[in-house]
Amino acid sequence: MTGDGTLCVRRPGLLTTVQDLGRWGHQVDGVPVAGPMDTYSHRLANILVGNEASAATLEVTLIGPDIEIDAATTAAVAGAAFDVEYDGAAVGTDVSFAVRPGSHVRFGRRHAGARAYLAVAGGILTAPVLGSRATHLPSRMGGMAGRPLAADDILPLDRWPTTRAGRRATGMRLPGRGGTRVRVLQAPQASWFTDAAWSAFTSASFQVLPQSNRMGYRLEGPPLTRARDEEPLSEPIAFGSIQVPAAGQPILLMADRPTAGGYPKIATVIAADLPLAGQLVPGDAITFELCTRQQAAAALIARERELLRQAARFAS
């Protein structure tokens, strides 16, 4: 697909990348998935402009960009609560708005959450790599040469009509100032940890450290002691896996995780709560609550139904 319009980066923000739902089907060859840190908000932004869920968006992190759009189209922002302006007028988040060629979309102050998603009708049409436009920063794959956007980058867009403007949605709950609670399932090496470790893991608060990134969050809290000294064989890693190195401080693996790893895993964040984890910032607190597989499935079904309900409101 070739673009009929362009998106020009005037100011890139702190860390802005092109993301779609990820590079699935290649993990067996050692190729990571990547994709959005908050899949719910990525999909919601696409719903607002009439895109498929897999369309590429811009993932905006902490400090947003200034974007010039040379196309008559529709745009929307979902996810973290930013002040967003279109040609100097406030448009906010979770609402679609018509864009004229040569207009500017600017991100201002961030009020809550870490990441927002800018969707444009038709999607961002950077060249796919292995079937995906997702940017994987550690391997420099996808998006714009596998890197964050820089000033004067030009991204191709489809040229779509503005008839999808004015759609409003309800974004997901964002982490509060005190952090957030996420639900987890026991991981394959759950028995490798002492009762004291489990007590601390499910009762204490852990802080997201500044060394965290899209690959994983380094957490600080009470050490999680092991009942066994050896390391397991390397095995596949899921989005949300919580590894515990020998020092006892956990690492929550996120969108840019590797395909495999060898640290023992104490738990895995359930799929329904991963978008909430994706909105955490360094300094935030996170707590963990064990749940059952049945509860995890019910939570995911409820989240998917909410997205379907919002999409159905705009079906024509």
pLDDT value at residue 172: 86
pLDDT value at residue 1: 43
pLDDT value at residue 176: 77
Distance CA(27)–CA(306), nearest Å, equals 30
pLDDT value at residue 170: 87
pLDDT value at residue 225: 95
pLDDT value at residue 316: 59
pLDDT value at residue 161: 63
pTM score = 0.95
Find out whether 69 and 157 touch, Cβ atoms under 8 Å.
yes
pLDDT value at residue 230: 85
Residues 6+ apart with CB under 8 A from 47: 53, 169, 307, 310, 311, 314
What is the CB-side half-sphere exposure of residue 77 using CA atoms within 13 A?
Answer: 25
Find out whether 101 and 70 touch, Cβ atoms under 8 Å.
yes
pLDDT value at residue 252: 98
pLDDT value at residue 231: 86
Q: Where does residue 13 fall: left (phi above 0), alpha (psi -120 to 50 degrees), or beta otherwise?
A: left
Domain boundaries along the sequence of the chain: 5-157, 180-305
Residue 43 identity (one-letter amino acid): R
pLDDT value at residue 199: 96
Distance CA(239)–CA(79), nearest Å, equals 19
Residue 256 identity (one-letter amino acid): D
Domain at 180-305: CATH code? 2.40.100.10
Q: Is 178 exposed, middle or buried (0-12, 13-18, 19+ CB in 10 A)?
A: exposed
196: part of which helix (H) or strand (E)? helix 195-203
SS3 of residue 173 by DSSP? coil
46: part of which helix (H) or strand (E)? helix 39-49
Q: Could you list the pLDDT tens digit for every one of the 316 residues in the chain?
A: 445 789 999 999 999 999 999 999 999 999 999 999 999 999 999 999 999 999 999 999 999 999 999 989 999 999 999 999 999 999 989 999 999 999 999 999 999 999 999 999 999 999 999 999 999 999 999 999 999 999 999 999 986 666 788 899 988 888 877 779 999 999 999 999 999 999 999 999 999 999 999 999 999 999 999 998 888 888 999 999 999 999 999 999 999 999 998 899 999 999 999 999 999 999 999 999 999 999 999 999 999 999 999 999 887 5
Distance CA(181)–CA(203), nearest Å, equals 11
